[in-house]
Amino acid sequence: MKHFLKETDFKLHEVAEVMALARDLKAKRGRHTPPVLAGQTWAMIFSKSSTRTRVSFEVGIHELGGNPLFLNRNDIQLGRGESIEDTARVLSRFVHGLIVRTFDHSDVERLAAAGTVPVINALTDFLHPCQIYTDAFTVAERWSKTTGGDLLASLRGRKIAFIGDTACNMAYSWILGANLFGMKVSLGGPEAFRPTPEFDAFLAQQGFAGGYEFTSDPVAAVREADIVYTDVWVSMGKEEESRERLRIMAPFQVTSDLFAKAKPDAYFLHCLPAHPGEEVTQAVLDNPRSIIFDQAENRLHVQKAIMAVLAQTPRN
């Protein structure tokens, strides 16, 4: 059974397939056939808030001919202590795929191990792979004009600077994705929020030991960057640490001055939701090189492609 829990769950040729299909689905929205999820129901188990992920998956499943079934964790028995394994076994008897947003990454791994349908990670405390594939697609759409339309090739050798909380799910996911796509990653954040030794061990186990640079100098981090990326300083579940996080990360706000230190044709990306005045200024969000709303839209096209590829992969 094939799942999408982390960036490296797809080989490079499959990433290329996802990206090419996303481009096709985007170009032919409303006219694309066949409806690859016809007759299928995909359940979405969410334990955290969501605007983009929830809506893009619900709309995407519908557009592929399937039926989305949204389940708040607390509405089902999982929220009252039924085991993850039994939940996976039972839901697998009813639905054709599971899309899961939760806290512990091990929860999505356990659902995948116990169930018999594909599981998609819709964000955990550790990784947010749907977002990273979308982000990469969003810049590749633009850069691939110089690589004869080859989306993946257009990413190779590019540099992303990730600024702020460099120990959050978005930073970790981008480090993994960038290494898979052949990109360079430079992190600019406080020492207290650099990737943990556990993450470094995971990265090494994925075949990318030492696959990033870290500095506490944000200017050094963005130098020669093709993408400047940031994310909220207080991720979901970290609200109790808000005051301390905002204080420690204050020097890492992405301002127009900082953005100007990247390449002149660099793009600004943010997974959203943004907190203007915290991790980024409104001026940067409004900069013509900020492509955050194309990025948000592309969640729909890329996730449809991911579901289509998983649905068409033979099951064992």
Whose CB is nearest to ligand CP?
Answer: 53
Query: CB of 314: closest distance to ligand CP in angstroms?
Result: 30
- Tokens 């992405």 found at: 254
Relative orientation angle of helices 197-205 and 169-181, to the nearest 10 degrees: 30
> Nearest to ligand NVA by Cβ — which residue?
235
| Residue 21 to residue 71: CA distance in whole angstroms | 28
Cβ at position 24, least distance to ligand CP in Å: 23
Least distance (Å) between residue 201 CB and ligand NVA: 21
Of the candidate spans 33-41, 86-94, 177-185, 227-235, the one that interacts with ligand NVA by CB under 6 A turns out to be 227-235
If the CB atoms of residues 91 and 123 are measured against ligand CP, the closer one turns out to be 123
128 is catalytic: yes
Q: How far is the CB of 170 from ligand CP (least distance, A)?
A: 8
Selection from ligand CP, ligand NVA, none that 235 binds (CB < 5 to 8 A by kind) is: ligand NVA
168 is catalytic: no
Q: Is 301 in the site for ligand CP (CB under 6 A)?
A: no
Residue 232 interface partner, choices ligand CP, ligand NVA, none, CB cut-off 5-8 Å depending on type: ligand NVA
DSSP-assigned letter for residue 121: E
271 assigned to active site = yes
Among 50, 87, 92, 186, interactor with ligand CP by CB under 6 A = 50
Q: In the annotation, is 13 catalytic?
A: no
The catalytic residue among 101, 194, 245, 270 is 101
Tell me which of 52, 96, 158, 245 binds ligand CP, using CB under 6 A.
52
Tally helices (H) and strands (E) across the chain.
Answer: 12, 9
Residue where the block lists tokens 């096209």: 301
Residues 229-288 that bind ligand CP (CB under 6 A): 271-273
**Do the Cβ atoms of 302 and 22 come closer than 8 Å?**
yes
Q: Binding to ligand CP by residue 134, rule CB under 6 A?
A: no
CA–CA–CA angle 242, 126, 11 (5° rounding): 150
Tokens, residue 35 = 């409806």
Preceding peptide of 264 cis, ω within 30°: no
Least distance in angstroms from the C-beta of 108 to ligand NVA: 14
Helix axes 105-114, 84-94, angle to 10 degrees: 50
Strand ranges for 138-251 from DSSP E: 159-163, 184-188, 213-215, 227-230
The reply to whether 205 belongs to the active site is no
Q: In Å, how far are 44, 85, 121, 313 from 91, measured between CA atoms?
A: 11, 10, 16, 20
Catalytic residue among 40, 52, 271, 295: 271
List the alpha helices (DSSP H) in 120-254.
129-143, 169-181, 197-205, 218-222, 242-249
Known catalytic residue: 29?
A: no
**CB contact set of 198 (below 8 Å; sequence gap of 6+):** none
**Residues designated catalytic:** 101, 128, 131, 231, 271, 299
Question: Which residues bind to ligand NVA, rule: CB under 6 A?
Answer: 123, 168-170, 231-232, 235-236, 271
Question: Which residues bind to ligand CP, rule: CB under 6 A?
Answer: 50-53, 123, 131, 271-273
